[in-house]
Amino acid sequence: MLDLLKTHFGYDSFRPLQKEIIDHVMDGKDAFVLMPTGGGKSLCYQLPALALPGVTLVVSPLIALMKDQVDALCANGIEAAFLNSSLTPKEQGAVMERARSGHLKILYVAPERVGAFGFNEFLGELEVSLLAIDEAHCISEWGHDFRPDYRNLRSLRMKVAQAPIIALTATATPQVQKDILSQLGMGKSQVFISSFNRENLHYSVRPKFNTTAELVALLKEHEGESAIVYCYSRKNTEEVASQLKRAGIKATAYHAGLPKKDRERAQDMFIRDEVQIIVATIAFGMGIDKPDVRLVVHVDLPKTIEGYYQETGRAGRDGLPSECVLFYSYADRRKQEYFINMIDDEDEQKLATQKLDDMVEYCQNTVCRRFFLLMYFGEFTAPTSCDACDNCVTEEAELVDATEISQKILSAVLKTGERFGAAHVCDVLRGSNKQRIVELRHDTLSVHGIAKGVPINALREYVQSLKTYGYLTQNTGEYPTLCVSQKGRQALAHKSPILLPKLKSIKPSKTKTSRSKSDLDYNEVLFEKLRALRKEIADEQGVPPFVIFGDRTLHEMSFYIPLREDSLSNLFGVGAKKLEAFGETFLSVIRTHAQEHKLEEKSAPEKITRTNTVSSGALSSTLEETKSLLAQKHSIKEVADERGLSHGTILQHIEKLLYTDEAPDLEHIRPIGKDAEKIEAAFKTLKHPSLTAIFKHFNERYSYDELRLVRMFLN
């Protein structure tokens, strides 16, 4: 199998679970495969197809993708073809003839073909050795993408009963999963589920402030790479696209309101690397299988974590480092609440609110983003160090003097009677004359308008920091209200200086995130030359550039500078067929460049190890301090008091320590007793065990901090 993998695909190792699944299928057994986007599902049927006699039938709903998939297989020297409505009857006849004569190894068919006239007869003439159902969730009415035509597959399965069946999907709730198995008549024992962790994706959340400038900077960092910018509404897509144009960045808007022709053209140009940036609503992406999207940005808050995970999942399918950035502001939540309130069905409304709460929690949370997402999908991972999310890599913030603004905020909280949330307090400070403020006569308070000039995002951030540093407390509940803590009262009374982290929303965030350069320090000039060559060949052959060679392969070429065919063949993605078809062309460009620049070939180790090294940088000093106090068996409260930080902040520290594997022995703070057991059980049984969900599950009986503490000890 490894030989086939290298010869036909140019890869020299399997991704997780691929080998197990392939062995299973080769044994003639059925398999159900649940793997995230980019996990490498196709290979699970493509490789057996090569090893088995006869033909493998692949049912896929995405007609637009079939051609690209078949082109990619053909470029690898695999006999493949497709049957769908985009072919003329004559072309279809030719494909069927090739299939009958036994020349095809892989045949893609659209689901509506399966029920079409004459298909059964055709099927009878084939030797089908494997049946693959891609995007298998389409068979279930419970799924989000039900296709009635998928119901035909049951009868298809009966007709090729001798062949094993492999069903694949990236999205299946337990309910949909059960449905797929029963619809296709598959047993239970054959389910393969891989981790949904997308290691190569870097996640970050930035305050939504100066968004255009930040977006422009971000896109410039990713110049020359493919990027998708998601917006909430159709109107927004066009606005953002034209803002980008004004800043000198070429971007194309995409939404369901555009004529079909325009949409297809935009997709096509994107796939062919003629347009690098698409500004779209979530309508964009389903029919896109582009492996080298390097950046996915959300400029508006997504509605659900499921949606967010799916949209960001379109980045980095090829496994190279790629970035996902979300611009968050609390105001976005308000905007969406407005729409949710218009939903008639009460249950639906509740559910939508819950999902939105979870999304907001993701944005506001300070734990590892990856850990949060995996927890949400019910995957309990062992604490590992993630060096690829903002919460794991951001440096400890620099503290600056914020005494004056802090005093204003604390006074406003006191003067309004400690009965309001941050939004209201900020409105008062900024001198708003909203009806509610006038009704409450808060416009007559001495604090009304004393922070007029401070942007709302900045005020929000100060309030957040005052909470973090224990000057303010916030009770949780449906209407969270702010109170001034003992520490805050004392600071006010003694006019003591208050130090807070420098504002993030004022200066553009400096988290260095351009991780999209691969771990190889390759020659960029050569890379650009090879990329141009790739595009030229692709256009000539009428296929997308990635079908010729992926980015990873070009990176390796421009790092190892292979001058001979055998050294080229050692590289990632260079199989026998591609070596024969494109080897000389690429070698000649590499040789010329090497000569001009006096470069020598670097010997590539026989097999290049491509493990991603995870560096766990040194702990920041504040974490070190918390760590050493905990190691001396102090309680969380003692540590908080000693350090002058809030309880919640210490919990954050502990979480960080856990995820970087740096935690001291913490047995003395492990929560025990009936309550802890109940909470633990809830985390393990709820479908989406986010903190908010658990909080509500217990009718707000436990505080967020209590829940978080239990969560830490789950593993």
Q: Which residues in this chain contact ligand ADP in the complex, by CB under 6 A?
A: 11, 14-15, 18, 35, 37-43, 289, 291, 317-318
In terms of CB distance, is 432 or 660 closer to Zn ion?
A: 660
CB of 324 to ligand ADP, least distance (A): 16
In terms of CB distance, is 48 or 383 closer to ligand ADP?
A: 48
CB of 43 to ligand ADP, least distance (A): 4
CB of 538 to ligand ADP, least distance (A): 15
CB of 245 to ligand ADP, least distance (A): 31
What burial class does residue 542 get, using C-beta atoms within 10 Å of its C-beta: 0-12 exposed, 13-18 middle, 19+ buried? exposed
Q: What is the spatial distance between Cα 636 and Cα 651, in angstroms, rounded to a whole number?
A: 8
In terms of CB distance, is 37 or 336 closer to ligand ADP?
A: 37
Q: What is the spatial distance between Cα 326 and Cα 301, in angstroms, rounded to a whole number?
A: 7
Q: What is the spatial distance between Cα 559 and Cα 574, in angstroms, rounded to a whole number?
A: 15
CB of 317 to ligand ADP, least distance (A): 4
In terms of CB distance, is 313 or 470 closer to Mg ion?
A: 313
CB of 394 to ligand ADP, least distance (A): 30
In terms of CB distance, is 130 or 352 closer to Mg ion?
A: 130
Instruction: Select the span of 98-106, 385-393, 451-459, 616-624 touching Zn ion (CB under 5 A).
Output: 385-393
Residue 14, contacted partner among Zn ion, Mg ion, ligand ADP, none, CB below 5-8 A by kind: ligand ADP
Q: Is 712 a binder of Zn ion (CB under 5 A)?
A: no
CB of 273 to ligand ADP, least distance (A): 15
Q: 17 with 192: CB under 8 angstroms?
A: yes
CB of 392 to Zn ion, least distance (A): 3
In terms of CB distance, is 45 or 469 closer to Mg ion?
A: 45
CB of 573 to ligand ADP, least distance (A): 8
CB of 41 to Mg ion, least distance (A): 5
In terms of CB distance, is 11 or 420 closer to ligand ADP?
A: 11
Choose which of 386, 482, 636, 663 interacts with Zn ion (CB under 5 A). 386
In terms of CB distance, is 172 or 219 closer to ligand ADP?
A: 172
Instruction: Select the span of 228-236, 282-290, 379-387, 414-422 touching Zn ion (CB under 5 A).
Output: 379-387
Q: Is 373 a binder of Zn ion (CB under 5 A)?
A: no
Instruction: Select the span of 182-190, 340-348, 368-376, 483-491 touching Zn ion (CB under 5 A).
Output: 368-376
In terms of CB distance, is 67 or 678 closer to Mg ion?
A: 67
CB of 53 to ligand ADP, least distance (A): 23
Q: Checking DSSP bridges between strand 322-328 and strand 293-298, what pairing results, if any?
A: parallel
Q: Is 367 a binder of Zn ion (CB under 5 A)?
A: no
CB of 305 to Zn ion, least distance (A): 16
CA dihedral 540, 295, 19, 136 (to 10 degrees): -90
In terms of CB distance, is 41 or 370 closer to Zn ion?
A: 370
Q: What is the spatial distance between Cα 330 and Cα 336, in angstroms, rounded to a whole number?
A: 10
**Residue whose token pair is 């470029």:** 75
User: How many alpha carbons fall within 13 Å on the CB side of residue 183?
Assistant: 24
Instruction: Select the span of 157-165, 316-324, 388-396, 682-690 touching Zn ion (CB under 5 A).
Output: 388-396
Buried (b) or exposed (e) across 212-245, using 16+ Cβ within 10 A?
A: eebbbebbebbeebbbbbbbbebebbbebbebbe
In terms of CB distance, is 35 or 658 closer to ligand ADP?
A: 35
Residue 368, contacted partner among ligand ADP, Zn ion, Mg ion, none, CB below 5-8 A by kind: Zn ion
Per this entry, what is the length of the chain?
Answer: 715
Report the 3 state secondary structure along 28-45.
Answer: CCCEEEECCCCCCCCHHH
Q: What is the spatial distance between Cα 184 and Cα 651, in angstroms, rounded to a whole number?
A: 47
Measured from each CB, the residue nearest to Mg ion is 41
Residue 402, contacted partner among Zn ion, ligand ADP, Mg ion, none, CB below 5-8 A by kind: none
Q: 560 with 520: CB under 8 angstroms?
A: no
> Rounded to the nearest 5°, which phi and psi values hold at 712?
-60, -30
For 57, 83, 125, the CA distances from 101, given in Å and listed in that order, are 15, 16, 9
Q: What is the spatial distance between Cα 112 and Cα 151, in angstroms, rounded to a whole number?
A: 10
For 207, 420, 449, 654, the CA distances from 453, given in Å and listed in that order, are 19, 22, 9, 37
Q: 111 with 147: CB under 8 angstroms?
A: yes
Q: What is the spatial distance between Cα 574 and Cα 601, in angstroms, rounded to a whole number?
A: 17
Q: Is 682 a binder of Zn ion (CB under 5 A)?
A: no
CB of 134 to ligand ADP, least distance (A): 7
Residue 152, contacted partner among ligand ADP, Zn ion, Mg ion, none, CB below 5-8 A by kind: none
Q: Calculate helix-pair angle for 576-596, 63-75, nearest 10 degrees.
A: 70
Residue 386, contacted partner among Mg ion, ligand ADP, Zn ion, none, CB below 5-8 A by kind: Zn ion
Q: What is the spatial distance between Cα 710 and Cα 666, in angstroms, rounded to a whole number?
A: 12
DSSP result, 402-466? -HHHHHHHHHHHHHTTT-S-HHHHHHHHTT---HHHHHTTGGGSTTTTTTTTS-HHHHHHHHHHH
CB of 552 to ligand ADP, least distance (A): 8
In terms of CB distance, is 11 or 209 closer to ligand ADP?
A: 11
In terms of CB distance, is 41 or 206 closer to Mg ion?
A: 41
CB of 369 to Mg ion, least distance (A): 24
Q: What is the spatial distance between Cα 599 and Cα 615, in angstroms, rounded to a whole number?
A: 30
Footprint on this chain of Mg ion (rule: CB under 5 A): 41
Q: Checking DSSP bridges between strand 128-133 and strand 55-59, what pairing results, if any?
A: parallel
Residue 389, contacted partner among Mg ion, Zn ion, ligand ADP, none, CB below 5-8 A by kind: Zn ion
Which long-range CB contacts under 8 A does 563-568 form with residues at least 24 apart? 563/587, 563/590, 563/591, 563/594, 563/601, 564/601, 567/601, 567/603, 567/604
In terms of CB distance, is 13 or 541 closer to ligand ADP?
A: 13
Q: 34 with 109: CB under 8 angstroms?
A: no
Window 389-408: residues binding Zn ion (CB under 5 A): 389, 392
Q: What angle do CA 659, 661, 663 make, to 5 degrees?
A: 95
In terms of CB distance, is 317 or 448 closer to ligand ADP?
A: 317
CB of 70 to ligand ADP, least distance (A): 13
Residue 38, contacted partner among ligand ADP, Mg ion, Zn ion, none, CB below 5-8 A by kind: ligand ADP
Q: Of the candidates 694, 687, 698, 688, which has an alpha carbon nearest to the alpha carbon of residue 708?
A: 694
311: Cβ contacts below 8 Å, ≥ 6 apart: 228, 230, 282, 285, 296, 298, 302
Residue 332, contacted partner among Zn ion, ligand ADP, Mg ion, none, CB below 5-8 A by kind: none
Q: What is the spatial distance between Cα 63 and Cα 85, in angstroms, rounded to a whole number?
A: 8
In terms of CB distance, is 236 or 516 closer to Zn ion?
A: 516
Quick one: tokens of 387? 């060096």
Residue 709, contacted partner among Mg ion, Zn ion, ligand ADP, none, CB below 5-8 A by kind: none
Q: Is 368 a binder of Zn ion (CB under 5 A)?
A: yes
Residue 392, contacted partner among Zn ion, Mg ion, ligand ADP, none, CB below 5-8 A by kind: Zn ion
Residue ranges that bind Zn ion, judged by CB under 5 A: 368, 370, 386, 389, 392
